[in-house]
Structure 1
């Protein structure tokens, strides 16, 4: 949904938060871009209050930064911050997988396989939005099976920071056969009940992703000019 589509007043700050978050992920609100609550409120057809609330939440998860009285802007893509976020997500995903495998059901495995089929179809269609949504559904299965609300909340807060990069460089980072094949291998290891092996396989995938992202930083593909 476009950022300029008016928001129903009953949805208010929750909908504004999701709308702004998605606009940042897609690059409609670019890294380093200054934003004003009044201008955003006008675009969304709302008062400033829900916009301010949404911007505060976005600051909490690292998508917006503010210097009171000076600026509010979209955070830039910083290698150090990305590396730290990836390290945490890798550890959390490994914890989720290792915890989930002993209690995963056949339905869980079916959901993972279906999500991977959806992911493969989205990659073939070069549909970044659908591919990222399918990838999220795939990884959400073990997170839900792990039944750890704290883990779930932290992952939900961190994912948008990585999605900003995945969205811009999807074909480089996730668009190849390697991710589809990784998903398929992970499902089979989970089905076999080897929790430690499944967690190690998940960690390897995150490490590979981190390596690819570092290469993009090395070649200056996240500079303002490259993202324009």
Structure 2
């Protein structure tokens, strides 16, 4: 855990890490006192982080029950989440192309170059993908798009973490899925960056919508490990 992060962010990232590592599964419950003990942290930042995770759809607070629950996932919910994300991020890409600066485009290229690395770990791939999408949403210069993005991105990430080709147990599967899935992600990101750099908003929108669709249909639903 990066010590320089605020306590709330440390707690937030700790729970996300448990999900990425599959140490928490859909339907599993977690309790505030357990986190306080494991992290050696006071209740306030942990409670704030858990509330944020609930607001973002990563955890659920079930009425009348103690603790927090990882949501039980379904094909119907996944379709709703990715359909909404497809429309929202298409709009974000279009706006980013209109408002981008040369420096911001250069930062996107640097992220994309790092994505080329075929030996990226799951954690590194997750961080770079999130960085790419977050940079784009900031480039759109619209705080309302940014607020909407937060919840949709994290909720859709649950499906990627549990069912995506790159987030499987075992080193051989992980490396194989990286070649099959993450290289495509790198190439799709590269095309989006070029459209943004060219200030071609309509093309950037189309490419982003296709990218989100590919993540949903090809890398998650069509994964041989997805059982719905």
Interval of TM-score (by shorter of Structure 1 and Structure 2): 0.7 to 0.9
Contact 1:100 1:146 in 2 (8 A): yes
Contact 1:186 1:198 in 2 (8 A): yes
The one of 162, 183, 189 equivalent to 2:189 is 183
Partner of 1:175, secondary structure, is: helix
Spell out, residue by residue over 1:95-137, the C-alpha distance to the aligned partner (whole angstroms, 9 max, x if none).
Answer: 111112122222222111111111111xx00412112222222
Q: Identify the residue that residue 54 of structure 1 maps to in structure 2.
A: 49
Contact 1:173 1:209 in 2 (8 A): no
**Are 1:92 and 2:99 an aligned pair?**
no
TM-score (norm 2): 0.80
Q: CA deviation at 1:69?
A: 3.5
Partner of 2:30, secondary structure, is: coil
User: Is the alpha carbon distance of 1:151 and 1:26 closer, same or farther for their aligned partners in structure 2, counting shifts above 3 Å?
Assistant: farther
User: Is the alpha carbon distance of 1:132 and 1:14 closer, same or farther for their aligned partners in structure 2, counting shifts above 3 Å?
Assistant: closer
Aligned length: 214
Contact 1:16 1:51 in 2 (8 A): yes
Please give the residue correspondences for 1:76-225 in structure 2 after superposition, counting only pairs within 5 Å: 76-121=72-117, 124-168=118-162, 169=164, 170=166, 171=177, 175-212=181-218, 213-216=220-223, 221=226
Q: CA deviation at 1:80?
A: 1.8
Q: Identify the residue that residue 226 of structure 1 maps to in structure 2.
A: none
Structure 2 gap ranges (5+): 167-176
Contact 1:59 1:66 in 2 (8 A): yes
Q: CA RMSD in A?
A: 2.7
Q: CA deviation at 1:142?
A: 2.5
Structure 1 gap ranges (5+): 224-228
Q: Once superposed, which parts of structure 1, at least 4 consecutive aligned residues long, lie more than 4 Å away?
A: none
CA distance in 2, matches of 1:56, 1:114: 34
Q: Identify the residue that residue 16 of structure 2 maps to in structure 1.
A: 21
Q: Which has the higher contact order (CA 8 A, sep 6+)?
A: 2
User: Is the alpha carbon distance of 1:78 and 1:106 closer, same or farther for their aligned partners in structure 2, counting shifts above 3 Å?
Assistant: same
CA distance in 1, matches of 2:179, 2:151: 21
